[in-house]
Structure 1
């Protein structure tokens, strides 16, 4: 081997041997290739893992941002709720103070109303004495009762037509005296009810509580409305439209359903009235005194 061949042999890689123009692989070349392949696979896995970790980190940051936004929103809502609570507490405090003031005013008005009612009763009694208002010791007819009521019961409005019809229909029977007393008792009770400034509720309720000023009336004889059948019938409702003072209704007529049962028997007379004691006239309007009107059971 000459010097040039020896030099070429030394400069050739240790993993190769040049044998007459043929390069033979050294036994350790495949091992190194496998190692490099494994390293590449592990590197690829690490890169994939790093990418997944990075994506998870980004997602976590987004969730954290959303949580912060939700926390800020909840904090703002809580602050607003506290402000509303404070506002409501102030309003409740003002309402409570107003309620106490109203309660005080109502108490004062109740005392004033009692004094006014007492003064009104005194005035009515004085007026009655001036007019010589003394009920007849013995009522003998419906006419006598109605004439007395028109002259002395100032809280009642009784049209002349009601008096004429009642006398014509009820005073011709043999029971005129008993019916006269029944009419007087009913009108006296309605008059006392109208003058009672301390009452509450309607006439029937007043009767149930025992009346006032020494006047009482049986609540069982009072009905404040008609039956459903009567109310649904146009014909029967029309039969209960009676003449009234134009001061109550410019048409001169109003429907009345409240009534008093004056008597039993064949005609079973009734007295129909309309309570306007808290209205513009301040009176009770008598619309009808006479035989029982048509009903669903007895259409006549």
Structure 2
């Protein structure tokens, strides 16, 4: 069963065609990675799927329903949420409060009840707090629940952002470079968590520059170059595709270079800092 269907998405900025006729599908429990060199259009594609940008062409379907023109908060209510390339954390709030924010979207409170903190409001607050703690336990951040988020390590903040997205009970989760800036241990923790989320039935759409991570956890890979899809398939198929290797390296190298993670070398680190 297809949960997310992307059909012929395209967008231009000032006459420049940033993404052109890109399509793919994701099933429940599947990890689909979108990769490509710096400037390939990956984040722009994410922005169209998640309602940040309105595409010029194409459409997005969620469980068979067209959701192309819905705003991000409406998409989130339907089960499609995302994280961002740059951390969107409330640095001065506690870790627990950051997660509780994610539950507000699903709340159906009453103005007077909230204003006077009536029993119904107190019950919802206690319920949100309990659920938030359970989510923090999944990423081993429960002991940091009452700490100010700004005091956490970068890797912990990345996990916190994913957990906050999970508070909205997504069926489709878009992760934009969840391991960027993380060390090897933090990256391993994040990719294990992503695999766990997929195993629970969530469809994961991933943009990531760490090719070792991508090849390790992806079920399916879509490759963009200059806004155009140049390849698609299983990790083993994509890693040996000459067009993919040429797009990344600019020369005709052997497929083993991609498999060995050459794209995460120092000479390519700048690709993790921007996508447009």
TM-score where L is the length of structure 2: 0.24
Q: Which has the higher strand share?
A: 2
- Which one scores higher on RCO, CA 8 angstroms, separation ≥ 6? 2
Q: Which has the higher helix share?
A: 1
